[in-house]
Amino acid sequence: MGSETLSQQEIDLLFSGAAPTEPKRPRRASATDVQLYDFHRPNLISKDRLRTLEAMYGLLVKSVEGWLAGRTRGHVELELLGVEQFSFGEFVLSLPNPSASYVYDLAGSSGRQAVIDIGRDFAFFLVERLLGGGGPPILQDRALTPLERMLVRLVADHVASALGEVWTDHIPMELTLNRFESLPEMIQIANPEDPVLVGNIKVDAGGVVSVVLLCLPFAVLEKFFTGSGSKRLLQLGGTEQERALDRTNAAASLRAARLPLSIRLPAFTAPLRALADLRPGGQLATGLPTNVLAEVLVAGQPRFRGAIGGSNGRYALRVLDLVTDPTDTGPTLPHTRIELMSTAENAAFQAELEVTPAEAGGGQGLALSALYGLSLPIAIELGRTTMSVQDILALGRGSVIELERLVGEPVDIFVGDRRFAEGEVVVLGEQFAVRITRIVASPALVETR
């Protein structure tokens, strides 16, 4: 059988008495249900921030649109298509070649720069109108000449001024022209993977449809995306006395929080053959001596060890030790091991495999006996309770933890992390055992309490 281990689902199938079947396939999610998350480029724009950005850039669009209408002697319509986060490499790839890009220095930002790309077709329209023409422009697939660059710069500078104005309330932003670039690959204001904020503006002027792009590095806008949270913390902080009172109240609330506690005997393993043969009235040997220390699990993690007993008619534990290595929780499902069968067992195993498809459940899977060589992790849970963090912190050697379960009530038997059966704790010689009182026969009845 190799060295494979059983999954929790396979254990459930084994104890339900059902043959393994093909798992039900989940409903295929549509494109509108799920979107892949890009861990290399996490989204830095919240919905609230996006609405603010769209309002800001919307004002910029209306301002520039009115200014252009008076200087181009014609109808110019601008529409904000969106304000989005891209990597700088993606922004460069989106530019036409040759482009009409103006690179601006951002004052007080440690050498950071911004890019305003005037769409090439829109640039030729501007040249035509600013030189006094009134007809449709001649669109050409070439870079702007020095004279044309000077004319188009008038518009780029106005856009830069409007961009600084809409950011004034959030981040002081003064843009000064550094250079003109017609080759996109020469625009190196950031690393290709660095995030940038790109405003995308559609221009419809005299039948010419083009796009104006406004690119700002996120490093310059960090205060905008984190500032409100910082301000909120400052507002909540108040004076030193108020902060001290907040810390006291937070500590008190935390100490009053209640956590679940459970007490279990140390985990042990049992062969699947023994588990499959268990019936009410049968006994499961644990191999644990009667003086073994039980574990106290706080929120599912072992934190204390102690001697089990009774208090006020309930199961209880007297704390004797602190668990110094909470990661050592004993045998777990991944530690399931395979035991070699003896010659006689192997012969019986081979005989049991020689069954007809009908006897094997219609050929839907191997017989349960095919897995009898597996040993599974078992845990016996005496009971559970809840305690406040304050009381848990006060636990020490000699402290008594009283459970909710009465002495004599059935305890829970777990296989892996599944509740498999109920039983009574008994003593065989000098070792603990469990007399089974009820088998949880179906996953529908399993309680993961």
**CATH class of the 47-227 domain in this structure:** alpha beta
Specify which residues 268 forms β-bridges with: 378
Choice between 301 and 372, residue whose per-residue pLDDT is larger: 301
**Per-residue model confidence (pLDDT) at position 13:** 61
Find the mean pLDDT for residues 378-397.
Answer: 93
Tell me how far the alpha carbon of residue 335 is from its chain's centroid: 27
- Label residue 139 by pLDDT band (50, 70, 90): confident
- Label residue 180 by pLDDT band (50, 70, 90): very high
Residues 248, 234: Cα–Cα separation, whole Å: 18
Percent of the chain residues topping a pLDDT of 90 = 50
Let me know: does 182 contact 101? Beta carbons within 8 Å: yes
Distances (CA, A) of 386 to 86, 300, 318: 49, 12, 16
Q: What are the sequence ranges of the domains in the chain?
A: 47-227, 254-445
Q: Is residue 404 scored above 90 in pLDDT?
A: yes
**Per-residue model confidence (pLDDT) at position 134:** 76
Closest CA to 117 of 216, 205, 249: 216
Dihedral sign from CA coordinates of 151, 155, 161, 167: negative
Q: What letter would DSSP give residue 182?
A: S
**CATH class of the 254-445 domain in this structure:** mainly beta
Find the mean pLDDT for residues 347-355.
Answer: 51
**Per-residue model confidence (pLDDT) at position 417:** 83
Residues 41, 217: Cα–Cα separation, whole Å: 14
Closest CA to 61 of 189, 213, 175, 182: 213
* 261's tokens: 């506690």
**Per-residue model confidence (pLDDT) at position 110:** 82
φ, ψ (nearest 5 deg) of residue 392: -65, -40
**Per-residue model confidence (pLDDT) at position 11:** 63
Find the mean pLDDT for residues 313-334.
Answer: 71
**Per-residue model confidence (pLDDT) at position 375:** 86
- Label residue 338 by pLDDT band (50, 70, 90): very low
On the question of a common fold for 47-227 and 254-445, the answer reads no
Q: Is residue 444 scored above 90 in pLDDT?
A: no
- Kindly report the average pLDDT of the chain as a whole number: 81
**Per-residue model confidence (pLDDT) at position 72:** 83
The Cβ of residue 305 has, within 10 Å, a number of other Cβ atoms equal to 17
Choice between 394 and 34, residue whose per-residue pLDDT is larger: 394
Residue 195 half-sphere exposure toward CB, CA atoms < 13 A: 18
Q: Is residue 401 scored above 90 in pLDDT?
A: yes
* 431's tokens: 């070792």
Q: Is residue 85 scored above 60 in pLDDT?
A: yes
Distances (CA, A) of 363 to 19, 64, 201: 9, 75, 65
**Per-residue model confidence (pLDDT) at position 26:** 46
DSSP of 71-131:
HHTS-EEEEEEEEEEEEHHHHHHHS-SS--EEEEEETTSTT-EEEEEE-HHHHHHHHHHHT
Let me know: does 185 contact 92? Beta carbons within 8 Å: yes
Find the mean pLDDT for residues 288-296.
Answer: 92
Choice between 36 and 118, residue whose per-residue pLDDT is larger: 118
φ, ψ (nearest 5 deg) of residue 388: -75, 155
- Label residue 293 by pLDDT band (50, 70, 90): very high
**Per-residue model confidence (pLDDT) at position 37:** 58
- Label residue 274 by pLDDT band (50, 70, 90): confident
Q: Is residue 117 scored above 50 in pLDDT?
A: yes
The Cβ of residue 284 has, within 10 Å, a number of other Cβ atoms equal to 21
Query: Tell me: the pLDDT tens digits for 119-135?
Result: 999 999 999 888 888 77
**Per-residue model confidence (pLDDT) at position 153:** 95
Residue 286 half-sphere exposure toward CB, CA atoms < 13 A: 30
Choice between 203 and 8, residue whose per-residue pLDDT is larger: 203
